[in-house]
Amino acid sequence: MFNRKPTHRRFNFSTPIRRKPSIDFSFGGLVFCLMSLFMLLAAVNGQVNLLFGVVGLMFGVLIVSYSISRMVLRKVQVRRLLPDHAVVGEPVTVNYEFTNEKRFWPSLSVSFAEMEGSEGFVRQPAAYMLHAAAGMVSTVPTEVVPKRRGLLELDHYQISTSFPFGFIKRASIRTERDTMIIYPAIGRVDPRLLSLCRAADKTGPTMRPRRGGTDEFYGVKEYRTGENPRWIYWRRSARTGVLVSREMTQVSPPRLALLVDTFQNGRSAAANSGVEKTIAMAASLASHALEAGLLVGLMAWNGHWAGIQPQRGKRHRRDLLAVLARLPLNLDHDAQALLDASRDVLKSGMTAVLLTPRDMQMGLTDHGRGGMIVLSATGDQSSRWFDFPQDIDFAHCMPLDQEPTVTKSRKPPRVGVAPSVAAMK
């Protein structure tokens, strides 16, 4: 169906976090210290003035290395320039802005590493700044690959340096709180699925005329004060003696209501994978349907039954994906409860698409439910309509606080809960 090149990268469940000590010696520094001690013993044993001078010079090098490395990190501030959003499995560029607030001394060879929030990425985010003159700003880009959806909080970070000689390593932990929203994985959608969504429209035609636009003539109505006088139908008004205005139509595309079933029966890896793949399928279908010009709405469990009215546009796409990214854990409300809650809010002419992690044995189109389309994350059906990168592990794409195997020894990043959304009417 799809010709995606296979990838051999695989996301690790746990991202290794390297925390450097505040002061440390490199391998070359340890060798230099051993040589200094050896020269000291030779000088004491031989009482040679030249050897005492060499020992003093070598210890002076260590003192200078310690002092300069400490000075390099002083008054260096780092600010994150985060993108508006990121997508699970897709590389994104994060810029780090190094500001050297010293008046005279430059900062050179400074390394940066994220401490808190690194679990949301495949690898620990890191950057390297070569040089920042006094009072200047240096921007360093780095590429990261998110592996978990949700609102990720970045707080503590560490900067380190081994300048000037590489013998002594200095590190300092700072705090700068930022947040970044990570959308679910967005895969490719078969165009035939969008065609089926259009064909399932209850009113038949793909583009339905609706009153209140400026496209074609729809009828006449009584003119009301404040309306545009350009739409007054003067011929009819002169014949009847009552002011009437023309009412025009607007062409409206089909409206989709995505019913996302996030009920999780158990905390197994298979259950986690099914729910996360269902959310990723909903995000992919919503993104491609909006690009195709369809109006897309959403209904899901978000602490309560809430949804978003069908609309279109880039801002609406961001709102939909943000809600899907922050869906909480659902252990109580199954697919039947979702259908019962959405029965009263679905408008006529709205195509309902049920996305579920289970095989409901209802076929692709369930005519008994008024043309509802049912998409299951299990079996071959999802692989026919959706194509996701092979390196995404859906069993561990949920926010870290929803991970059933999180140990108490590791502090998870703070992942927010989706806010209330206007109910569909």
* CATH number (domain holding residue 136): 2.60.40.10
* Residue 266, Cβ density class (10 Å: 0-12 exposed, 13-18 middle, ≥19 buried): exposed
Asked if residue 421 is part of any domain, the answer here is: no
231: containing domain = 209-252
Domain count, the chain: 3
SS3 content of the chain, % helix, strand, coil (to 5): 30, 30, 40
For residues 322 and 176, membership in a common domain is answered with no
Q: Provide the angle, in degrees to the nearest 10, between the axes of the packed helices 27-46 and 49-73.
A: 150
> Which pair of tokens denotes residue 69?
């490395």
Does residue 178 lie within any of the structural domains?
Answer: yes
- The pLDDT of residue 324: 93
**Predicted local distance difference test score (pLDDT) of residue 205:** 42
- Asked if residue 389 belongs to a domain, the reply is yes
Expressed in angstroms, the distance from the first to the final Cα of the chain is 38
Note the pLDDT tens digit of each residue in 43-87: 888 888 888 898 899 888 889 988 898 899 999 999 999 998 999
Residues 200 and 218 in one domain: no
97, 141: one domain: yes
* Structure confidence at residue 202 (pLDDT): 42
Could you tell me the strand order of the sheet in which 217-222 lies? 208-211, 244-252, 217-222
- Joined together, the tokens standing for residue 154 give 């970045």
The answer to whether residue 325 is domain-embedded is yes
Residues 263 and 377 in one domain: yes
The predicted pLDDT at position 319 comes to 92
Dihedral in degrees, nearest 10, Cα atoms 196, 197, 198, 204 = 90
Q: Give how far the C-alpha of residue 20 lies from the chain's centroid of Cα atoms, to the nearest Å.
A: 28
Q: What is the pLDDT of residue 400?
A: 84
CATH code at 370?
A: 3.40.50
Do residue 73 and residue 174 come from a single domain?
A: yes
Question: Are 114 and 220 contained in the same domain?
Answer: no
pLDDT at residue 136 in the model: 94
Domain-located, residue 30: yes
Q: How do strand 92-100 and strand 126-132 relate by DSSP bridges?
A: unpaired
**10 in any annotated domain:** no
pLDDT at 217: 62
Residue 52 lies in a domain: yes
Which structure tokens are listed for 13?
A: 């469940």
Examine the domain organization and report whether 176 and 78 are in the same domain: yes
Instruction: Say if residue 246 is in the same domain as residue 111.
Output: no
Query: CA–CA separation, 397 vs 183, rounded Å?
Result: 10
Asked whether residue 330 falls in the same domain as residue 231, the answer is no
Asked if 200 and 312 sit in the same domain, the reply is yes
Same domain, 298 and 309: yes
Does the residue 356 lie in any domain?
yes
Q: Return the DSSP state at 57.
A: H
Predicted confidence at residue 218, as pLDDT, reads 66
User: Going residue by residue through the chain (425 aa), what tens digit of pLDDT does each one get?
Assistant: 444 444 444 455 678 888 999 998 989 889 988 998 998 898 888 888 888 898 899 888 889 988 898 899 999 999 999 998 999 999 999 999 999 999 889 999 999 999 988 888 999 999 999 999 999 999 999 999 999 999 999 999 999 999 888 889 999 999 999 999 999 999 999 888 888 777 655 444 444 555 555 556 667 788 887 788 887 888 888 888 888 888 776 556 678 889 999 998 888 888 888 899 999 999 999 999 998 888 899 999 988 887 888 888 889 999 999 999 999 999 888 888 888 888 767 765 678 888 999 887 554 334 334 467 888 888 777 788 898 988 888 888 889 888 876 434 344 444 333 333 333 43
- Are 363 and 274 within one domain? yes
Which pLDDT belongs to residue 211?
58
The answer to whether the beta carbons of residues 411 and 116 sit under 8 Å apart is: yes
| pLDDT, position 222 | 83
Look at residues 253, 346, 336, 353 and name the one whose alpha carbon lies nearest to residue 301: 336
